[in-house]
Structure 1
Amino acid sequence: MSRETTTGAIAQQRRGHFAATVVRRTGSFVASLLVTFVGLTAVTFFISRLTKIDPVLTVVGDKATKAAYDNAYKALGLDQSLFIQYGIYLKRLLSGDFGVSVLTSHPVLGDLVRVFPATFELATIATIIGVLVGVPAGVLAAARKGRWPDHVIRVVGLFGYSVPVFWLGLVGLFVFYGKLGWVSGTGRLDVFYEGVVTLRTGVILIDAALEGQWEILANAFSHLILPASILGYYSLAYIARMTRSFMIDQLGQEYVTAARIKGTSFWGAVWRHAFPNIMVPLITVIALSYASLLEGAVLTETVFAWPGLGLYITRALFNSDMNAVLGGTVVVGAVFVGINQLSDLLYKLFDPRLRTP
């Protein structure tokens, strides 16, 4: 057999192996998504059915006649077994039908598309604040372990993830809006700016910039900065604590000592040698922090009347709007699954060992 033939056979074998690996990983990914989706919807559906909230009364009202109640009971499929009800709900869900919200009288899917960008905007800015401040703070605390910078950062972090978020929000509104007037109040925009900008992405900062509405952009930022900072403080406290823990472990490794012996400066050893080795676990921490904020930041959105997913679910619960509650819960679960998969992809970028089949 010639050398060219052998090389071609090896190349073909490698391509076949690569294709098989791709198919296997894709199948595993799809199966994982399906199992997670079915489990999530099943748990939320059956819990909603076990609550004391009567979905029929939510539709017809508590003054409806028995005949109207019975007709609505059958129309909603509640005369079927729970498993049949779940099958019907899952079939509708897969077709994009989340039901109609009792509170807004609009399709739940449309409501979720409308409110989610507000939560995305708030959580993204908060996470950026948490990463930009929390990561350097954690590295500094680890590098100065047992000294005053470490003690200060640990106390600040302890305060951040111990104090209730809603209390920080109320204090922030009282001080920075009520007393100092440095920021705007609740909501996303002042009332007279509502509806001026065409919502293309749903993110006010982006849409205002696309239309060149710089005054509205400044007003939106003034409304956003306080709730984002409150959530960012909560996020940076967690990120700083975990970064400190990861860095302390790496700074005690022999390769850091070897780098110092070879003449590398202390901060050079910290940032060029130790810090890259904590990127993989740090990605998980940041991803989990971001996902927790994307849940809706219920208390913060309630305090600041921020029209996002958290406030939508809260109002739905208070009004026994179970279609909206279930739809919001499914979105939250989908966000967690999506962010976990994204973090897996980022692992491969920062850890070359995971790039091989």
Structure 2
Amino acid sequence: MSDTSIDEGRDFAPLFRFIKGTALTIGSILVTMLGLLFITFIIGRVMPVDPVIAIVGERATPELYQETYEMLGLDKPLLVQFWYYLSDVARLDFGISYLNARPVAEDIKRVFPATLELATLGVLAGILIGVPLGVAAAVNRGSWIDQIARFVALVGYSMPIFWLGLMGLMIFYGQLRWVGGPGRLDIFYEDIVPTRTGMILVDSLIAGDMTVFWNAVSHIILPALLLGYYSLAYISRMTRSFMLEQLSSEYILTARVKGLPEHIVIWRHAFRNIRVQLITVIALSYAGLLEGSVLTEIIFSWPGIGSYITTALLSADMNAVLGGTVVVGFCFILLNVTSDLLYKVLDPRAK
């Protein structure tokens, strides 16, 4: 083989690696999504809820029952039903809600932005406070700063979120009147700004209506800070753990022996090496807020996907439950893929 052929093969090697990595990533996403859809499909079939009865009612005639049973495809083999289910989900068709007779996809499109807005503000609060707090605790290990950080994290893990929410409403809304009450807006301001993104803060800014914007801020600040505290506890604890590991490394000792300023040692050397780990922690925290804000949404009457799924589950509306579950699962997958991509960008060894 000539040197020219060898050089050409080396030139194409990065392209081949990129294609292979992209194919593996897409394949893993598809397999994960397929597994998620299969699990939700099986759950929908084993739940002790008759979808036909939910549609036609308990007093329907046997003929109407059988007609609806066949119309839903329940007379087909399970593999055929699963194929129909995959085809519907691929078209973003999650069926009709038994509770309100509307397409589930439209309901999710309406409620998901509210949860996205709340969870985004919550995780931002957790990052902006939790990361510096964790770094400060690790740098000052054993000091009063470390003790406060560990206490804050312990309380965040230990206190039931519904109790904190009720106490927050009672103190900051009921007594001090510093924040708005339950819901996203006061009744007077509802439906004033046109819905573009479904996120009321963004929509009010687009419309240029600052009165609605600040009213929305007064309503979202307490539940967002509550979720942010829950996120802060996890992020600060993990940041402290990662930083302690780096600060005990030999390269940190070498940097200090060379006389580098302490802030450069901490932020440019130690913190730089934990960024990849922090991305994974933040992604998991964000996904957890998107999924686990059910109690917060119920306490604050927040019309998000968590309260939507809970209401559907209590009403045996399985189409709505499974549709919401698929969307939340897809968010988990999307956040994991995003963290993997950022991992490759921030860590040259992964390229």
Tell me if 1:279 matches 2:280: no
Q: How does 1:140-179 map to 2 (within 5 A)?
A: 140-179=136-175
Is 1:321 the counterpart of 2:309? The answer is no
Question: C-alpha displacement at 1:354, in angstroms?
Answer: 1.6
Q: 2 CA distance for matches of 1:230 and 1:177?
A: 14
Aligned to 1:139: 135
Output the amino acid matched with 1:333.
G
Q: What is the CA–CA distance in structure 1 between the aligned matches of 2:89 and 2:82, rounded to whole Å? A: 10
Cα distance, 1:103 vs structure 2: 1.9
SS of 1:295's equivalent in the other structure is helix
Structure 2: which amino acid aligns with 1:323? N
**What is the aligned counterpart of 1:335 among 326, 331, 344?**
331
Matches within 5 A, 1:280-319: 280-295=276-291, 297-319=293-315
TM-score under structure 2 length normalisation: 0.95
Q: How does 1:164-243 map to 2 (within 5 A)?
A: 164-243=160-239
Between 301-310 and 124-133, the greater mean CA deviation after superposition: 301-310
Q: Distance in 1 between matches of 2:270 and 2:325?
A: 39
In structure 2, what is the Cα distance between the partners aligned to 1:276 and 1:35? 33
* Aligned residue in 1 for 2:61: 65
RMSD: 1.8
Distance 2:18 2:349 in 1: 17
Q: Mean alpha-carbon deviation: is it higher for 117-126 or for 51-60?
A: 51-60
- Partners of 1:178 and 1:334 in 2: how far apart? 38
Q: CA deviation at 1:154?
A: 0.6
Write the mapping of 1:19-58 to structure 2, written as runs, cut at 5 A: 19-58=15-54
Q: Could you say which residue in structure 2 is the equivalent of 1:265? A: 261
Distance 1:137 1:278 in 2: 15
| Distance in 2 between residues matched to 1:191 and 1:10, nearest whole Å | 72
CA distance in 2, matches of 1:156, 1:23: 46
CA contact (8 A) 1:296 1:309 kept: no
Given that residues 296 and 311 in structure 1 are in contact (C-alpha distance below 8 angstroms), is that contact kept between their aligned partners in structure 2?
A: no
Amino acid at match of 2:337: Q
Cα shift at 1:99: 0.7
The letter of the residue matching 1:101 is S
Q: CA deviation at 1:107?
A: 1.2
| Distance (whole Å) between structure 2 residues aligned to residue 249 and residue 196 of structure 1 | 52
State the TM-score, normalized to the length of structure 1. Answer: 0.94
Please report how far the alpha carbon of residue 296 of structure 1 lies from its aligned counterpart in structure 2 after TM superposition.
Answer: 5.4
Question: Mean Cα displacement is larger for which, 184-193 or 123-132?
Answer: 184-193
- CA 1:280–1:316 in 2, change beyond 3 Å: closer, same or farther? same
- One-letter code aligned to 2:68: A
Residue 263 of structure 1: CA displacement?
1.3
Equivalent in 62, 82, 88 of residue 86 of structure 1:
82
Runs of 4+ in 1 over 6 A off after TM superposition: none
| Alignment partners' CA distance in 1, 2:101 and 2:8 | 59
Q: CA deviation at 1:11?
A: 6.1
Deviations 1:113-151 (A, max 9, x none): 111111110010000000000001111111111121111
Q: Deviations over 1:183-239 (max 9, x none)?
A: 001111111111111111111111111111001000011111000000000000000
Report what 1:248 is aligned to. Answer: 244
Pick which of 81-90 and 142-151 moved more: 81-90
> Structure 2: how far apart are the matches of 1:302 and 1:136?
31
Tell me the CA shift for residue 326 of structure 1.
Answer: 0.8
**Structure 1: 5+ residue stretches without partners:** none
Partners of 2:249 and 2:18 in 1: CA distance: 36
Cα distance, 1:9 vs. partner?
5.6
Q: How many residues align?
A: 351
Paired residue type of 2:341: L
Q: Does 2:314 align with 1:352?
A: no
